[in-house]
A and B are shown apart, each in its own frame.
Chain A
Amino acid sequence: MENLFNALNNFFLIALPYIALFVFVIGSIWRYRNGFKFSSLSSQFLEGRQLFWGTVPFHIGILFLFLGHLIAFLIPSGVLAWNAHPLRLIILEVTAFIFGVAVLIGIVNLLYRRITNSRIAVVTSKMDYVIIGLLLIQVFSGLWVAYNFRWGSSWFASVLTPYLWSVFALQPDATAVAALPWVVKFHIVGAFLIIMLIPFSRLVHFLVPPIDYLWRPYQQVIWYWNNREVRKPHTPWSLKRPKNN
């Protein structure tokens, strides 16, 4: 029994993360290379009214929550310092919980729209259903953990951050995480499953956030060839390939 427990823990907390990360990196590079299948597949054109109440709370909430998890991963001592005062701890936790509930509402709205609106059902693939189901379960389990195992922000920073770092440092140590309640492990496994499925779904769209739009000049003129260089008479045999200017 214990061996099975060990084996399952080893698989889900050590093997699966590595498989997921590997598939994610290789898969995303492979898919990005062609680019035609790299799209957010927006369906606002077909139905915009219901979408608003799904996509806006979902995206804003998930950005906030992702940022929170990321900060706890990168600066755990900062999180613990913030949580040092109980009032600040409550503010952080309740705010995150509020955003989490908003995300849940958003996903439920999106799922409802996908199922009931015939125009949207036509542009929904099986992978879309898988992803939205996974996200729903993931958010629900996250809220469960936040409510039942308080205070998540502190013990994430103390217990999960070292575990995650150990995975990235190729010296995985999952003993602490193995002792956590199964819902927490479920949430972790769900996260890695979603990471693994990113290159095979519409989730690729968040790998290319258009941040560079902020400093890109508005107008773009692209030339096939460098007119001034390509026909210069004194270089009849160009040794270098002409570069696009």
Chain B
Amino acid sequence: MNVRAQISMVFHLDKCIGCHTCSIACKNIWTDRKGVEYQWWNNVETKPGTGYPTKWEDQDIYKGGWEKNNGTINLKGAGKKKGLLNIFHNPNLPVIDDYYEPFTYRYLDLIESPAMKDQPTARPVSLITGKPIDIKMGPNWDDDLSGTPDYARKDPNLQDLSPAEQEAMFQLERMAFFYLPRICNHCLNPACVASCPSGAIYKRGEDGVVLINQQVCRAWRMCVTACPYKKSYYNWHTGKSEKCILCYPRLEAGYAPACMHSCVGRIRYLGVILYDADQIESVASDDGGKLIDRQLNMLLDPFDPRVIQAAKENGVADSTIKAAQYSPTYKFVKKWGLALPLHPEFRTLPMLFYVPPLLPVMASLGEQDKSQGEKLDPIAKFWNDSWLYDTSTEDLWGTIDQARFPLKYIANLFAAGDEEKVKVVLKKLMAVRIHRRNVTVGDLAEEKVEATMRGAGMDVETAEEIYKLTSLAKFDERFVIPPAHREQALEMLEFTGDTKGSVGFGFKEKAERGL
């Protein structure tokens, strides 16, 4: 057992309000320079939608991630053979128009415009060329389902849905959408690391953060193709590739990453998960249907004495093991089984897990065909919209089976098409809701509640724990950051043993005798 620690993330999609504060936090700290202004290391997509870059999930176009060939896995669009043969021209590289051409407005024209017949305007100009442009695309152009015929209808996750199911998703007054915030998943089997011909990308052993060494990167631009989530970006100004760094300077200082800290909906959780690194290769190359289960099996119980022993032997610090025991992500992912990885079929073993959204799923069974006018109660004059989120129907599970949002769609996103897995998670989430409704409102039959909980494999204590961590969690419970032990890292760079009796470290020039 080769135990390693990884800082993992959980995003609770029921709570995301799509405010994009996370994107702005990251943008203002890291990506407001020339060359990276188009890069959104954190972006929030509307689903159904094509995302950023457009249709990134369609690996037939972008050739990202790994694919299985006869028992082993190979990079789909890069690798030793393809990467070197295509080094002069990457045939699968997304170009800037797949993202959007970054723009700004000539605000000063409003103030300094000469006297004219018409009002002055601030023209949009390109941030690349500086010339006026027509704005054709933005990083979130299809936000809240705008431009549905062009974008949401072409969502790659809809590909294997039947036409009826697709239509069900796009009916007016029944349409639903949710937000999918994405950052780099800091995978266990990163395709970007494997694809870099100069070996500039690496995974840090202590915390699993994947970084691009800016001094080694030679702009071979294979990593942009290889990442199936398109979270490795090319800086067109400096000629280097950049990606989400999980705010590692903040992590090392004990702060939460900017996107996590600034999240308004408080959807983000950060914690350490211990995993068995020996299994990475066999898990990534297993059959498609087994990927999620095997990836979850690779994650280890931080309370198991054998795991703790193996971790200590591997040099994992005691404080990190303690952090793993308090980790909120371990609870969501392993203990309660509520979070799933995004597109596990890319075989990169992402360590960012999502709690699937329950809300677009719930619907009424009885009242769904009545027109809007009939729902207006004639006497009380209020909209009887309880059919939307009805938790008191006879068959509490019917809402999931006859969801407004086809389960297949969510399964395509989070479970490689396996609807059962998503159903299990959604049932647990529903059970928690039902338990809490029972506690707060009390209008459900006790036996029904108990039967529901048993059916979902949930008990009262667990439901309470889930409720507390989801809705009432304090800051320190959501982000459990292990100390980075920089004193040990410092010993890599400096020989700290002999500072006693010497002049000092001497940052720019060593405090040494001259020649």
Q: Is any CB of A less than 8 Å from a CB of B in the complex?
A: yes
From known contacts A38-B218, A44-B90, infer whether A216 and B129 are also in contact, taking CB-CB under 8 Å: no
| Chain A interface main SS type | loop
Complex interface: chain A residues within 8 A of B219 (CB) = 39-42, 205
Least CB distance, A113 to chain B, in whole angstroms: 13
From known contacts A55-B89, A119-B128, A221-B205, infer whether A44 and B193 are also in contact, taking CB-CB under 8 Å: no
Interface residues of A in 95-123 (CB under 8 A from B): 118-119, 121-123
Q: Which of A77-85, A189-197, A224-232 contacts its partner?
A: A224-232
From known contacts A122-B129, A230-B491, infer whether A52 and B89 are also in contact, taking CB-CB under 8 Å: yes
Least CB distance, B135 to chain A, in whole angstroms: 16
Q: Is the CB of B88 within 8 A of A210?
A: no
Interface residues of A in 33-55 (CB under 8 A from B): 34-36, 38-48, 51-52, 55
Q: Which residue of A lies closest to B494 (CB)?
A: A241
From known contacts A118-B129, A223-B205, infer whether A216 and B199 are also in contact, taking CB-CB under 8 Å: yes
Least CB distance, B119 to chain A, in whole angstroms: 28
Complex interface: chain B residues within 8 A of A52 (CB) = 89
Q: Is the CB of B489 within 8 A of A213?
A: no
- Tell whether B111 is near chain A: CB-to-CB under 8 Å: no
Q: Is the CB of B129 within 8 A of A224?
A: no
A60 to B86, CA, bound (A): 11
From known contacts A46-B128, A213-B80, A219-B190, infer whether A242 and B201 are also in contact, taking CB-CB under 8 Å: no
Least CB distance, A77 to chain B, in whole angstroms: 32
Q: Is the CB of B492 within 8 A of A242?
A: yes
Q: Is the CB of A36 within 8 A of B96?
A: no
Least CB distance, B472 to chain A, in whole angstroms: 36
Least CB distance, A117 to chain B, in whole angstroms: 9
Q: Which residue of A lies closest to B314 (CB)?
A: A227
Interface residues of B in 221-276 (CB under 8 A from A): 221, 224, 234, 236-240
Q: Which of B41-49, B209-217, B434-442 contacts its partner?
A: B209-217
Complex interface: chain B residues within 8 A of A43 (CB) = 236
A60 to B147, CA, bound (A): 43
Complex interface: chain A residues within 8 A of B131 (CB) = 118
Q: Is the CB of B193 within 8 A of A218?
A: yes
Interface residues of A in 206-245 (CB under 8 A from B): 208, 210, 212-214, 216, 218-228, 230-231, 237-238, 241-242, 244
Q: Which residue of B lies closest to A51 (CB)?
A: B89
Q: Is the CB of B315 within 8 A of A224?
A: no
A156 to B162, CA, bound (A): 69
Q: Is the CB of B216 within 8 A of A119?
A: no
- Tell whether B197 is near chain A: CB-to-CB under 8 Å: yes
A119 to B38, CA, bound (A): 14
Q: Is the CB of A40 within 8 A of B95?
A: no
How many chain-B residues does the 8 Å CB contact rule pick out? 56
Q: Is the CB of B240 within 8 A of A45?
A: no
Least CB distance, B346 to chain A, in whole angstroms: 15
- Tell whether A59 is near chain B: CB-to-CB under 8 Å: yes
A208 to B204, CA, bound (A): 24
| Chain B interface main SS type | loop
Least CB distance, B101 to chain A, in whole angstroms: 9
Q: Is the CB of A237 within 8 A of B497?
A: yes
Q: Is the CB of A45 within 8 A of B224?
A: yes
Q: Is the CB of B129 within 8 A of A119?
A: yes
Q: Is the CB of A222 within 8 A of B202?
A: yes
From known contacts A35-B216, A205-B218, infer whether A225 and B489 are also in contact, taking CB-CB under 8 Å: yes
A220 to B314, CA, bound (A): 17
Q: Is the CB of B215 within 8 A of A45?
A: no
Question: Beta-carbon contacts of B183-215 to A below 8 Å, as 1s and 0s?
Answer: 000000110011011110111111000000011
Contact of A45 among B129, B196, B234 (CB under 8 A): B234
Q: Is the CB of A55 within 8 A of B203?
A: no
Q: Is the CB of B95 within 8 A of A219?
A: no
Complex interface: chain A residues within 8 A of B90 (CB) = 44
Interface residues of A in 153-210 (CB under 8 A from B): 205, 208, 210
Least CB distance, A223 to chain B, in whole angstroms: 4
Q: Is the CB of B194 within 8 A of A219?
A: yes
- Tell whether B488 is near chain A: CB-to-CB under 8 Å: yes
From known contacts A52-B89, A213-B80, A224-B488, infer whether A208 and B236 are also in contact, taking CB-CB under 8 Å: no
Q: Which residue of B lies closest to A218 (CB)?
A: B194
Least CB distance, B140 to chain A, in whole angstroms: 20
Complex interface: chain B residues within 8 A of A41 (CB) = 219, 239
A122 to B491, CA, bound (A): 43
Question: Beta-carbon contacts of B90-131 to A below 8 Å, as 1s and 0s?
Answer: 100111100000000000000000000000000000001111
Least CB distance, A102 to chain B, in whole angstroms: 13
Q: Is the CB of A221 within 8 A of B491?
A: no
A232 to B431, CA, bound (A): 50
Residues of B within 8 A of A (CB): 80, 83-84, 87-90, 93-96, 128-131, 189-190, 193-194, 196-199, 201-206, 214-221, 224, 234, 236-240, 277, 280, 313-316, 488-489, 491-492, 495, 497
Q: Can you list 6 pairs linking A and B with CB atoms under 8 Å apart? A: A42-B239, A45-B96, A51-B89, A210-B220, A220-B193, A228-B313
Which 5 pairs show the lowest CB-CB distances between chains A and B? A227-B315, A35-B215, A210-B197, A39-B239, A223-B205
Not counting A36-B238, A210-B199, A219-B193, a sample of 16 additional A-B residue pairs whose C-beta atoms are within 8 angstroms of each other reads: A35-B216, A42-B219, A43-B236, A45-B93, A48-B93, A213-B196, A218-B194, A219-B190, A219-B280, A221-B277, A224-B489, A227-B314, A227-B488, A228-B313, A231-B488, A244-B492
